[in-house]
């Protein structure tokens, strides 16, 4: 896949569940009434003032102040201009529990806009607080733009969004932490913000989601639009660093995928484990998706074999199975750093018929795929080597088969060859055994996740 490196100016985070993205239009409240009668705006700071500037209202001496516009549900819209430098910020409180407290002192969603990024956070003392998304974004400074923000209930959870001019950012709170209607407020460096009257723009707010299909090794962007969206896709590079706490990344370590403008991105084997996001052009709007990882655990679980030394259960391409009725397990061979797997049990897991010939003590396996027209694999339990390997005579075998409790055990590398897996992963610490086609490096957390699935059988 050809990649063209660019400096990405924005990105989203948070992994969302599968399903269509449907952001139905919510009732929009214009801030015009409050601007026409500023007595309706409640400031929590006696030092803060409001004054008319060039047809708009700006706040002065209002750093660290909160300006409440009342109990408002749905979406809020106004034209605005920002004058922010460094770490100065303006926060938009959504569904706030109180009207005069800072975001971290009350339950609410808050969208923090800075000169260089947009953060979407949730604060809730009982249910947990944290980042939902963090976008790197170059905010237009001293330029009047239309701003629309709000919370839209969806099947997947609450969609918290902000439209800044021609760009839409959003994140989904899958836990639906905030459910009660509440106040809309603006906080932060309010003297860096001017509000202007605007006319309502009747529109659905597009939202884009990426989901990963591990079976097909494919990323798919879903958006609530039938207007023929055009997509740009971005993949992380090897220098990429993901911060799971603030859900952000350094954008210079993403590359534009060249030549792909559709909603699907087919990945190569060496792209498993990478992160991706898309930017969809919809009705002149640039809609940023979540960041989604091509999860190697999900890929292996759905396309390979996982088992563990000492366990009698495993998974074959996402389907759980028990090796056999005798409770045979995987046995380690510490001398050769190999492991032996109960052959009939695993072949039954893959639907491969196994026949035993007592006369010449040979095992014959009919495999799903073969070389040429042959699907037969045949070997003697008394010798090292295949008699017939899918039409290839005399093919090598890593170790001599073992007979344990009258059952045939074959080493994991030879078993992988029969099942057309090119790579074997053995973790000495946990005893995890993985057979897969691509060569995937697994982290400690990923090893633990796969081991937990084997232990729990799910």
How confident is the model over 74-131, as pLDDT tens digits?
A: 899 999 999 999 999 999 999 999 989 999 999 999 999 999 999 999 999 888 899 9
- Residue partners of 52: CB distance under 8 A and separation at least 6: none
Q: What is the overall mean pLDDT for the chain?
A: 87
**The CATH number fitting domain 206-294, selected from 3.40.50.300, 1.25.40.80, 2.60.40.2700, 1.10.420.10:** 2.60.40.2700
Task: Give the DSSP per-residue string, 279-320.
Answer: EEEETTEEEEB--EE--HHHHHHHHSEEEEBT-SEEEETTEE
d(CA 107, CA 101): 10
d(CA 305, CA 435): 5
CA-wise closest residue to 234 among 217, 215, 253: 253
- Structural fold of domain 298-456: Copper Amine Oxidase; Chain A, domain 1 (3.30.457)
Query: What average pLDDT does range 379-401 have in this prediction?
Result: 86
The verdict on domain 28-196 having CATH code 3.30.1330.50 is no
| pTM for the predicted model, two decimal places | 0.82
Are the C-beta atoms of residues 91 and 231 closer than 8 Å to each other?
Answer: no
| Residue 56 pLDDT exceeds 60 | yes
pLDDT of residue 23: 67
Kind plus residue range of the DSSP H or E element containing 423? strand 423-426
Show me where the domains of the chain are located. 28-196, 206-294, 298-456
Query: What average pLDDT does range 212-240 have in this prediction?
Result: 88
Q: Half-sphere exposure of residue 422, counting CA atoms within 13 Å on the CB side?
A: 5
Query: What average pLDDT does range 417-423 have in this prediction?
Result: 93
Provide the pLDDT confidence category of residue 371 given band limits of 50, 70 and 90: low
How confident is the model over 256-309, as pLDDT tens digits?
A: 999 999 999 999 999 999 999 999 998 888 999 888 999 999 999 999 999 999
Strand, helix or coil for residue 124? coil
């Amino acid at each position: 896949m050809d990649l063209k490196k660019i400096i990405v100016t924005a990105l989203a985070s948070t992994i969302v569940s599968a399903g269509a993205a449907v952001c139905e239009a919510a009732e929009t409240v214009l801030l015009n009434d409050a601007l026409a009668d500023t007595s309706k705006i409640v400031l929590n700071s006696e030092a803060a003032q409001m004054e008319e500037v060039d047809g708009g209202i700006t706040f002065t001496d209002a750093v660290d102040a909160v300006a409440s516009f009342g109990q408002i549900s749905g979406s809020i819209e106004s034209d605005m201009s920002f004058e922010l430098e460094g770490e100065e910020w303006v926060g938009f409180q959504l569904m706030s529990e109180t009207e005069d407290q800072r975001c971290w002192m009350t339950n609410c969603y808050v969208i923090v806009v800075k000169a260089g990024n947009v953060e979407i956070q949730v604060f809730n003392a009982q249910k947990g607080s944290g980042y939902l998304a963090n976008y790197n974004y170059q905010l237009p400074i001293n330029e009047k733009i239309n701003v629309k923000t709000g919370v839209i209930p969806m099947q997947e959870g609450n969609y918290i969004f902000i439209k800044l001019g021609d760009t839409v950012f959003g994140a989904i709170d899958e836990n639906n932490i905030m459910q009660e209607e509440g106040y809309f407020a603006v906080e932060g460096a309010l003297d860096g913000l001017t509000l202007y009257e605007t006319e309502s723009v009747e529109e659905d707010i597009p939202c884009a989601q990426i989901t990963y299909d591990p079976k097909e090794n494919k990323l798919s962007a879903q958006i609530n639009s039938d207007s023929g969206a055009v997509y740009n896709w971005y993949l992380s590079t090897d220098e990429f660093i993901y911060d799971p706490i603030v859900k952000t990344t350094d954008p210079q370590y993403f590359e534009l995928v060249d030549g792909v403008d559709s909603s699907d991105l087919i990945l190569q084997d060496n792209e498993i484990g990478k992160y991706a996001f898309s930017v969809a052009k919809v009705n002149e709007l640039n809609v940023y998706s979540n960041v989604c990882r091509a999860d190697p655990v999900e890929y292996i679980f759905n396309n390979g074999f996982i088992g563990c030394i000492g366990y009698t259960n495993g998974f074959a391409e996402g389907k759980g199975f028990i090796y056999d009725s005798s409770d045979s397990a995987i046995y380690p061979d510490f001398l050769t750093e190999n492991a032996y797997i109960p052959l009939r049990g695993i072949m039954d897991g893959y639907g491969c018929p196994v026949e035993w010939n007592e006369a010449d003590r040979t095992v014959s396996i009919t495999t799903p795929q073969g070389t040429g027209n042959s699907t037969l694999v045949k070997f003697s339990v008394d010798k090292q080597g295949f008699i017939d390997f899918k039409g290839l005579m005399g093919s090598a075998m890593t170790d001599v088969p073992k007979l344990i409790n009258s059952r045939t055990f074959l080493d994991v590398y030879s078993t992988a060859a029969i099942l057309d897996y090119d790579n074997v992963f053995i973790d000495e610490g946990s005893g995890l055994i993985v057979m897969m086609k691509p060569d995937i490096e697994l982290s400690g957390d990923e090893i633990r996740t796969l081991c937990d699935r084997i232990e729990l059988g799910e």
